Structure 1
Amino acid sequence: MRATVRGVARIGTALLVAVAAAGAWMWSSGGADAPVASRPETLRVVTWNICGEAGGERGQSGYCPLRDRPEEKTGKIAALARKHDADVITLQEVCGGAPGSHMDLLRSALGPGWSVRHAEGARPDGETRCRDGLSGDLGVALAVRGEIVGDRSLNALPPDPKGVSRQTLPVLCVRVEGWSYTPCTTHILPGEEPRVGEQIAAVRAFVRGEDRPTVLTGDFNRNAGAPQLAPLVASYSVCPAADRGGRGAVTYHAWDPEKRAHSFHELDHIFFDRPPGVRNPLVRCGVDEDLMDTTPNEPGGRGPDGYSDHAPVYAEIRTGP
C-alpha cells in the first residue's frame, strides 16, 4: 500500500541522540534449531510489501488481496523463499508479536534454521494493532536463514508538524551469526512533504551506523531515480537499478476508480554495499510480477490475481571476492 507508518525522531541533534540510543545491539541466545554458523558466498535476498492489514472490501481505497487469510500469505512467502533459495526475507505491512500473526505463522512455514524479528509501527491514527480480527501489531519484519544474535530498530519518521497523523515507520536491522553483511528493512512515507527527506536521512544514518556492509530493503514509495532517494542511490548499489527515463521495473499496481485506469510503479528496492575486492557484487536481480494483483479494484468485480498490490523483489549479492 502507498500509506503506512510515521515516527518521532527529530532531524538534527535530537535525531543523532535517537540514532545513538537505538544503536546498541540487543543480543539474543541461539534457539535449539539454529544452524551451524556459516558465511554465505552470496546473499540471496527477497523483499515484499504484503499489504498485510490494509483495506478489506473489494472496491475500497487501499484494498489488500487476501488480507483476511494470513495463512495463505505466509504460505506464499515460504514458497517464495524456497523458489529463490533465500537467505533473507524482508516484509513490510506485516503483523507480528502475537500467536496467529503473520510472523508467528511464518516461523512454522519456513521451518527449522530460520530466525525472525519484527519492529512495530503505527497507522496515521496512532494505533498499532492489526485490524478486523488479525493478530498482532503492524510493522516491518526480517527473517534470515541463520541465527540472529542482535537486532535494533528506530522509528525514523519525524512527527507530523500539523499534528494530524500519528503514524510511525521503523527501520529494523539484524546481525546474523557468521555473516559479514547486516540485513535491514524499512518503509518510507509516500508523497512530497519535507519529512520524507528527513525520514530517508534518518534511515541512512541509522543503517550507516554499521561497521560492516549492509543490505537495506523495503517499500520506498518512489522509483530509485526520484530526487528524494538520491542520498541512498549515492551511497549504495540498487536493485532494480535507478531508471532516469522510462517506466523501469514494475513492483506496484494501483487502480484509479474515477479514471478507470491502471497505473504501475517501481516502489520497492534492495540497496546494498559493495564488499572490498568485489567489482560487481550483483549476481542477479528481478521482480516476481506474477504475485502482484493487477485487476481493477471495483465493488463486485472479479477476484484478485495476486497476493498483494506489490510484487516481491529479489537479488543475489556476492559477499566477498
Structure 2
Amino acid sequence: MPVRARAAAAVIGVVALLAAGAVFADRATDEAPGPRGARGPTVLRVVTWNVCGEAGGKRGEAGYCPYRNSPAEKVEQITELAHERDADVIALQEICGGAAGSHLSLLRTALGPEWSVRRAEGARPDGRTRCRGGLSGHLGVAIAVRGKVVGARSRNALPPDPAGRSHETLPVLCVRVGGWSYTPCTTHILPGEDPRVLEQITGVRDFVRQEDRPTVLTGDFNRNSGASQLKPLVSAFTECPDLLGTGQGTSTYHQWMPAEGTHSFHTLDHVFVSKASEVRAPFARCGVDRDRMDTTPNEPGGVEPDGYSDHAPVFADIRTGG
C-alpha cells in the first residue's frame, strides 16, 4: 500500500479506537495481562526499530524524520510489523511514552491485552526528556512483549560529558517475561567518535550480562558491524550473521548527503544473543525490512518520503530451545 494511503488508514484506525471509548494509558508500571502461553516460545521472534519518533527538523534539514508529528502513522506501522512478523518482542528507540496520546500509549491499545510494554527515558543533550513539537510524552527506548512482564530494570549507560556541555542520557532496558527462557534488552548508543562510546558499550554489556538467563540485546548502535567500539559486545554475544555486511543489501540506515547529492547506507541496528554452548546456531532467520525505511533525497520541497524512519526495522527469529 502506498505510504500516503497507509497513513490515512492509520489515522482512521486510531480515530475508530477513540470513538469506541478506548482509554490510552501509559504508565511504566502497568501490568498487561494475557501471556502467550504457559511456556515460552521455542522460536523467539524479535523486531527492533529506531522509529525516529522524536527527531526534529523539517524536510531538507539535518535531523528530518518522516511523519515526525504523526504518532498514529508510526504506531500503525509498528502494529502492522508485529502482525506480519508474528512478533514476540518489539524493541523501539527514539520513541515517546508516559502520556496519553504518545506513541506507546497508542501502541499499547493497538497491540491489545496480551501485550505488555515497558520503557526507559533518555534525555537530549539539553537535558530535557519531553518530546518536542506536537508530540506527547517523554523520549526514550521501549520493549513490547507478547506476554506478562514479571520484572524490568534499566539505567543510563552513557557516562557524563567531561566538558559538561551535553546532558544527554541513553538508557539500556531489559524485561523479564513469565515463562520465557530469554530476557530481551534494548539500547541506543551515542553516534560519532566520542571516547565515551566505548565506555557506554562496555556498560551496556555489563548491565545485560547481570541477567542470570540468556539475553537478546537489540538496538541502534550507531556503527557498522566490525567497528572497533563494538568489540565488547562481539566478544560477549553472538551477532546475527545475516547483518554483518556493510553494503546496501544489509543496510538498516539511510542518510542523504546534500553536499554530494548522494545516498549513504549503513548497518547500524543489530541483534546480539548470549553465547551458549548448548545453542550452536541460535538464529533461525534474521533480516531487514527496508520497505519501511525512507530512502528519498532529503531536500526542501522534495518528494514524499517512501518510508517512516531513516532506519529500517530489523527482525530475528531466535531458537530458544524452550
Fold shared per TM-score above 0.5? yes
2:237 is the alignment partner of 1:226: no
Q: Which residue of 2 aligns with 1:164?
A: 165
The AA in structure 2 aligned to 1:191 is G
Aligned-pair identity in percent equals 67
Sort the Cα spacing of 1:248 and 1:163 in 2 relative to 1 into closer, same or farther, 3 A. farther
Sort the Cα spacing of 1:318 and 1:221 in 2 relative to 1 into closer, same or farther, 3 A. same
Sort the Cα spacing of 1:85 and 1:171 in 2 relative to 1 into closer, same or farther, 3 A. same
Task: State how 1:90-109 maps to structure 2 within 5 Å.
Answer: 90-109=91-110
Could you tell me whether the CA contact under 8 Å between 2:29 and 2:118 is conserved in 1? no
How big is the shift at 1:189? 0.3
Could you tell me whether the CA contact under 8 Å between 1:28 and 1:150 is conserved in 2? no
Q: Which residue of 2 aligns with 1:22?
A: none
Q: Which residue of 1 aligns with 2:40?
A: 39
Sort the Cα spacing of 1:214 and 1:294 in 2 relative to 1 into closer, same or farther, 3 A. same
Q: Which residue of 2 aligns with 1:63?
A: 64
Q: Which residue of 2 aligns with 1:17?
A: none
Counterpart Cα distance in 1 of 2:88 and 2:37: 14
Counterpart Cα distance in 2 of 1:108 and 1:292: 24
Q: Which residue of 2 aligns with 1:280?
A: 281
2:93 is the alignment partner of 1:81: no
Counterpart Cα distance in 1 of 2:78 and 2:286: 18
Sort the Cα spacing of 1:196 and 1:284 in 2 relative to 1 into closer, same or farther, 3 A. same
Sort the Cα spacing of 1:118 and 1:83 in 2 relative to 1 into closer, same or farther, 3 A. same
1:249-282 Cα shifts (integer Å, max 9, x gaps): 2000001111111100000001012445222111
SS in 2 for 1:203: helix
Counterpart Cα distance in 2 of 1:245 and 1:54: 24
How big is the shift at 1:162? 1.1
Counterpart Cα distance in 2 of 1:242 and 1:304: 25
Counterpart Cα distance in 2 of 1:66 and 1:78: 16
Counterpart Cα distance in 2 of 1:176 and 1:249: 30
Q: Which residue of 1 aligns with 2:10?
A: none
Sort the Cα spacing of 1:115 and 1:140 in 2 relative to 1 into closer, same or farther, 3 A. same
How many pairs were matched up? 295
Sort the Cα spacing of 1:318 and 1:127 in 2 relative to 1 into closer, same or farther, 3 A. same
The AA in structure 2 aligned to 1:84 is R
Q: Over aligned residue pairs, what C-alpha RMSD do you find? A: 1.8
Counterpart Cα distance in 1 of 2:170 and 2:246: 29
How big is the shift at 1:38? 2.1
SS in 1 for 2:270: strand
Counterpart Cα distance in 2 of 1:268 and 1:206: 19
The AA in structure 1 aligned to 2:105 is D
Could you tell me whether the CA contact under 8 Å between 2:119 and 2:143 is conserved in 1? yes
1:82-115 Cα shifts (integer Å, max 9, x gaps): 1110000000000001100000000011112000
1:236-259 Cα shifts (integer Å, max 9, x gaps): 111255647766620000011111
Could you tell me whether the CA contact under 8 Å between 2:141 and 2:173 is conserved in 1? yes
Could you tell me whether the CA contact under 8 Å between 1:269 and 1:313 is conserved in 2? yes
Sort the Cα spacing of 1:30 and 1:296 in 2 relative to 1 into closer, same or farther, 3 A. closer
Q: Which residue of 1 aligns with 2:143?
A: 142
Counterpart Cα distance in 2 of 1:245 and 1:134: 34
Q: Mean alpha-carbon deviation: is it higher for 235-244 or for 270-279?
A: 235-244
The AA in structure 1 aligned to 2:55 is A
Task: State how 1:20-39 maps to structure 2 within 5 Å.
Answer: 30-39=31-40
Counterpart Cα distance in 1 of 2:30 and 2:163: 43
Sort the Cα spacing of 1:63 and 1:89 in 2 relative to 1 into closer, same or farther, 3 A. same
SS in 2 for 1:229: helix
Could you tell me whether the CA contact under 8 Å between 1:29 and 1:149 is conserved in 2? no
Sort the Cα spacing of 1:224 and 1:263 in 2 relative to 1 into closer, same or farther, 3 A. same
The AA in structure 2 aligned to 1:220 is F
Counterpart Cα distance in 2 of 1:308 and 1:318: 29
Q: Which residue of 1 aligns with 2:50?
A: 49
1:110-138 Cα shifts (integer Å, max 9, x gaps): 11200000100011111100000200000
Could you tell me whether the CA contact under 8 Å between 1:34 and 1:112 is conserved in 2? no
SS in 1 for 2:75: helix
